[in-house]
Amino acid sequence: MEIKQMTFEEIVEQHQPLVLKIINSLCIYKERDVYLQIGLVALWEAQKRYNPDMGAFSTFAYITIKGRIQTFLTKETTYYDRHQGVKKESYFDIVDERSSILLNEDILEIYCSELSENQRKWVKGKIIEDKTSKEIALEHGVSLEKVKSWRREAVKKLRKTMINTLS
């Protein structure tokens, strides 16, 4: 049956799993019903704007739904970033910023005991100093690929250390 001849209820029944798949692929776990509603509205708009010359309806619907949900996510993130106040708990972080960095370095040192010197350079640069891989590479005079290999191996070892610590 052609999309233009189907009722919207039939289209929803057929394409609701697609909307849910998009929501899951975007790792949305809060307010899923809001995103489902946004997806269904986008599905309705896709039905209205669909032209069979564009290709398969499911492809057109997928692009429309995912785009609409991503746009909403971007707007929500921007809003929360701009309107989020300073929480009471974070006052202590502002006042005692240096001691928390020292504490983080101490904790990291415990977890980094199994890492090579280069892997520690990556951990220090990335986690403590908040540098990009490119900045770390420039600082130590190595290629970006080399720093990425430090990261890969460090992450493997850190995961292993974390699993052993938690068990």
pLDDT level of residue 138 (50, 70, 90 thresholds):
very high
Amino acid residing at 101 = I
Q: Please count the structural domains in the chain.
A: 2
Residues 117 and 154 in one domain: yes
Cβ proximity of 149 and 143 under 8 Å: no
Residue 15 lies in domain? 3-83
Q: What is the mean pLDDT of the chain?
A: 80
Tell me: pLDDT of 21 over 80: yes
pLDDT digits (tens, 9 = 90+) for 55-113: 888 888 899 999 999 999 898 888 887 877 555 444 444 444 444 555 456 666 667 77
Residue 22: give its domain's CATH number.
1.10.1740
Long-range contacts at 18-21 (CB < 8 A, ≥ 24 apart): 18/58, 18/61, 18/62, 18/65, 19/43, 19/65
* CA within 13 Å, CB half, 34: 9
Neighbours of 32 (CB within 10 A): 13
pLDDT at 14 over 90: no
Calculate the alpha carbon distances from 122 to 30, 76, 100, 141 in Å.
Answer: 34, 33, 20, 13
pTM: 0.49
